[in-house]
Amino acid sequence: MVQLPLPKGIDSEKVLLSIRPEKDVDAFHPVNVGKIMIGNFDFLPCTPAGVMELIRLTNIDVCGKECVVVGRSNIVGKPQAMLLLHENGTVTICHSRTKNLKEVCRRADILVAAVGKAKFITADMVKEGAIVIDVGMNRDENGKLCGDVAYDEVSGVASAITPVPGGVGPMTIAMLMKNTLKAAIIQNK
């Protein structure tokens, strides 16, 4: 398992290519990324898989919902969008250069915040009754752990919201354990 991002001077692509796809429990190898794109995968990236498990366990139907993912990383944003798309959500990926970001976010029935900026998503960016999933892990101005969502203000608008800490983080770890077990089973048939 490789913990990204790697220090400067280390070629991430070279490192990821050195991992055999059947041992890639993070699903970062290009072979596994391709499998995710076509919907025929062995492993899913742990954080997006954790988000989807939370959605499944709370009986939220993604089909036909307007889904907005704020963040376009290869680790969370892009695979998260693909997993929502596989569940027939209508997906928009936003990023730092998205024009009218507030308006785009306000369309979301399901809003996934994976931008990497403390308390970036505020109540005025969230549609009344939206489901808000906070993937962020940041420190606020007081050094306290917080997410990408201004939880206190957004919780008054959202119908459901994940906290930081204690929301998606534990699910990420659970999905890593699930992938590790699956890798062992695949390799030992």
Q: Are 49 and 56 in contact (CB under 8 A)?
A: no
pLDDT tens string 178-187:
999 999 999 8
pLDDT at res. 72: 96
Q: Determine the Cα–Cα distance for residues 103 and 149; give it in Å rounded to an integer.
A: 16
pLDDT tens string 45-103:
999 999 999 999 999 999 999 999 999 999 999 999 999 999 999 999 999 899 999 99
| pTM of the complete model | 0.94
Domains delineated in the chain? 46-169 (3.40.50.720)
Give the helix ranges, DSSP H, for the chain: 12-17, 30-38, 46-57, 77-86, 101-106, 151-154, 168-188
Query: Closest Cα to residue 131, out of 72, 60, 41, 189?
Result: 60
